[in-house]
Amino acid sequence: MAVLIGLEGREAATWIIYSESAKPGVRIRSESEYDFYESIVDALHPSVRQGIKSILVAAPSEKEYSSFMDHIRKHQGWMLGGWSLNTVSFTHIPEPAMRGDQVRELVKTHDFVERLADVTQGDIRQVMDVLERRLSDPEGIETVLFTLREVEDSVYGDERRPEYILVTDAFSSRNRRRMQRLLQIATNKNIGTRIIEAGSPAGFRITQFGGLVCMLRE
């Protein structure tokens, strides 16, 4: 999944992207540039907390995209340079995405599909790099949980603080009710979550550990 933001003047439209489909999110309008950009960041927070760190910004004008990114660098630097599991990837789409018909056409284009793949793969690679570093470190591996019971105890309790949960779609399907509750509570507690296709490279790696991995905050 990814978030698509359509920018046009002092108006923005947000969309949650699922492969070649899109679900509309909030619309934002403000006369103040600062308030406008901060409202966009506020709208992104729920998705970022759920582990969606891939943001595509659709703006026909390069200047509008650059202005938005200048604001991010100046006022929301954590999104670009926070701790490794919290950074967000942005990419520019030089097309309009303010209306449903525009977005429906956009997500079908070859250029959009390529950019979406690039930004989402970059995001999951970053998370997997963090996991691999922990697995290769005797101290780091102590911050990784592999069983559903351990992860539930960590999320529902207060002693061990989870930071990010990775689960394959196959594992989630097999444990549907428990995983639905677990991921919902994790989201409410601002714990990053990510459901990964079992057939993807990252999904194959997670499957080697049973299909579920939870990284605790170091």
pLDDT tens, per residue, the chain with 218 residues:
789 999 999 999 999 998 668 899 999 999 999 999 999 999 998 888 777 888 999 999 999 999 999 999 999 988 887 556 767 889 999 999 999 999 999 998 988 888 887 777 767 888 888 899 999 999 999 999 999 999 999 999 877 789 889 999 999 999 999 999 999 998 888 788 888 889 988 999 999 999 999 999 87
Strands of 159-207 (E only): list them. Answer: 162-168, 192-196
- Does the pTM of the predicted model rise above 0.75? no
* 40, 68 contact by CB (below 8 A): yes
pLDDT at res. 83: 59
Query: Which three-class secondary structure state does DSSP give residue 22?
Result: strand
Residue with tokens 């594992």: 171
Cα–Cα distance measured from residue 110 to residue 204, given in angstroms and rounded to the nearest whole number: 26
Closest by CA position to 142, among listed 216, 75, 70, 53? 216
Q: For residues 52-78, b (16+ Cβ closer than 10 Å) or e, as one string?
A: bbbbbbbbeeeebbeebeebbeeebee
Cα–Cα distance measured from residue 155 to residue 180, given in angstroms and rounded to the nearest whole number: 13
| Residues near 75 by beta carbon (within 8 Å), at least 6 away in sequence | 34, 37, 38
CATH of 137-216, one of 2.40.40.20, 3.20.20.10, 1.10.275.10, 3.30.1330.30: 3.30.1330.30
Residues 2-122, CATH architecture: 2-Layer Sandwich (3.30)
pLDDT at res. 216: 93
DSSP string, 202-216: HHHHHHTTTSEEEEE
pLDDT at res. 120: 73
For the chain, the domains span 2-122, 137-216
pLDDT at res. 18: 81
Strands of 30-140 (E only): list them. Answer: 54-58, 89-93
